[in-house]
Amino acid sequence: MKLEEYKQKRNFSKTPEPQDKADIEKLHHPIYLIQKHDASRLHYDFRLEIDGILKSWAIPKGPSRDPKVKRLAVETEDHPLAYASFSGKIPVGEYGAGTVVIWDRGTFKNIKTKSISAQYKDGQIEFQIRGRKLKGPYVLIKTGGKNWIFKRMQEKTDK
pLDDT category of residue 14 using cuts at 50, 70 and 90:
confident
pTM: 0.83
Q: Which of 156, 155, 17 is nearest to 97 (CA)?
A: 17
pLDDT category of residue 11 using cuts at 50, 70 and 90:
confident
CA-based Rg of the chain, rounded to a whole angstrom? 15
For residue 82, give Cα distances in angstroms to 16, 38, 93, 120, 136. 12, 20, 23, 21, 25
Does residue 12 carry a pLDDT above 50? yes
Q: What are 84-129's pLDDT values in tens digits?
A: 999 999 999 999 999 999 999 999 999 999 999 999 999 999 999 9
